[in-house]
Amino acid sequence: MNKRRFVFASLVAALALSVAAAPAHAQEYPTKAIRIVVPYAAGGISDLVGRIVGDKLTGYWGQQVIVDNRPGAGGMVGLETMVREADAGYTVVMGTSSEVTINPIFDPDNAINAAAKTIAIVTSSPMVLVANPDAGFTDWTGFLEAAKAAADPLAFSSAGNGTITHITGEAVALAAGVPLLHIPYNGGAPATMGVVSGEVPLNLATMSTALPHIQEGTVIPIAVTSAQRFAGLPDVPTVAELAGDANFDFSIFVHLTVPADTDQAIVDKLNAGVVQALAEPDVQQRLADLANTEVGLYGADAQARVEADMKRAAAVVQAAQIVLE
């Protein structure tokens, strides 16, 4: 048995024991349809992952798992919907890093954050700095030279002010030691089209959004923001390599979050379902096609990832003096 299969088997066994020891009402879960609230529009990475995992859970448990898109307020509309429903275990959120690691930085006293608990990090994907082919550079060295020679800061587009792509773009500027002008768009896809059309020379994008344009040659990848190179673009270096900062690591993750008072046995069964789904070869292939890798962090490990990413983002927000307008 290889290490990956051993870890999977151990997780399933541990979670199964927890569920077996649970009260009868938890053992019976689910007894009705489960609603996965996605706090973004259809077609985004959390929506797609939610549907992939939800389909598997429907098959495992014989209860319909429905994806309900509730976009707005940087993901907070979706979290609020879950908390307001107060239907622990039957209304959950499948979202991205932004609403659990970014929003609390700007609104630390929001009661919605305290009423929700992230129980799993399902997938993770790097982000990437891309350039328009006519920007005048095709690699990191050229980017630095152009940025330093420009009379005004080079502009980069993001999915919006205060989003994870905005903060990561500012992190790239800090690591590179050059000023960049942030141009917020209303979403990741429009921001990438801004660089494709030449409205801006640079775009900080999720890999799933940028990869089709990279493959078509309508944008040029300059650097990947994760700690490791992206397998789908093995020749594109990381910012960590290029800037000489081994701690530079900005990825976007998809999480599973539930009301904070959800019965632990239900949490364990949800996590066991995610573990089982992520082990399916077709799921792994579909995630790879979306430029995502399965992560499978649960419980305290998932919370540790949330806290580490929040701390990293907060440092950039402070250094770049980012404020929400």
Structure-block tokens of residue 55? 């389909």
Q: Is the pLDDT of residue 6 over 60?
A: no
Q: For residue 27, what pLDDT is reported?
A: 66
Looking at this protein, which amino acid is placed at residue 102? I
Structure-block tokens of residue 57? 């859970």
Average pLDDT of the segment spanning 288-311: 92
- Of the spans 15-24, 44-53, 237-246, which averages the highest pLDDT? 237-246
Average pLDDT of the segment spanning 111-117: 93
Q: Is the pLDDT of residue 203 over 70?
A: yes
Q: Report the 3 state secondary structure along the chain.
A: CCHHHHHHHHHHHHHHHHHHCCCHHHHCCCCCCEEEEECCCCCCHHHHHHHHHHHHHHHHHCCCEEEEECCCHHHHHHHHHHHHHCCCCCEEEEEEHHHHHHHHHHCCCCHHHHCEEEEEEEEEEEEEEEECCCCCCCCHHHHHHHHHHCCCCEEEEECCCCCHHHHHHHHHHHHHCCCEEEEECCCHHHHHHHHHCCCCCEEEEEHHHHHHHHHHCCCEEEEECCCCCCCCCCCCCEHHHHHCCCCCCCEEEEEEEEECCCCHHHHHHHHHHHHHHHCCHHHHHHHHHCCCEEEEEECHHHHHHHHHHHHHHHHHHHHHCCCCC
Spatial contact of 199 and 185, defined as CB atoms under 8 Å apart: no
Domains of the chain, earliest start first? 3-125+250-319 (3.40.190.150), 126-249 (3.40.190.10)
Dist. CA 82–CA 50, nearest whole Å: 15
Higher pLDDT, 301 or 6: 301
Q: For residue 21, what pLDDT is reported?
A: 46
- Confidence band for 81, pLDDT divided at 50, 70 and 90: very high
DSSP, collapsed to helix, strand or coil, labels residue 125 as strand
Least confident of 15-19, 94-98, 162-166, 174-178: 15-19
pLDDT digits (tens, 9 = 90+) for 260-275: 999 999 999 999 999 9
Share of the chain above pLDDT 70, in %: 92
Q: For residue 24, what pLDDT is reported?
A: 45
Q: Is the pLDDT of residue 2 over 70?
A: no
Backbone angles phi, psi at 169, to 5 degrees: -60, -40
Q: For residue 15, what pLDDT is reported?
A: 47
Structure-block tokens of residue 120? 């799993």
Higher pLDDT, 43 or 309: 309
Average pLDDT over the chain, rounded to an integer: 90
Q: Is the pLDDT of residue 26 over 70?
A: no
Model pTM score? 0.85
- Confidence band for 12, pLDDT divided at 50, 70 and 90: very low
- Confidence band for 25, pLDDT divided at 50, 70 and 90: low
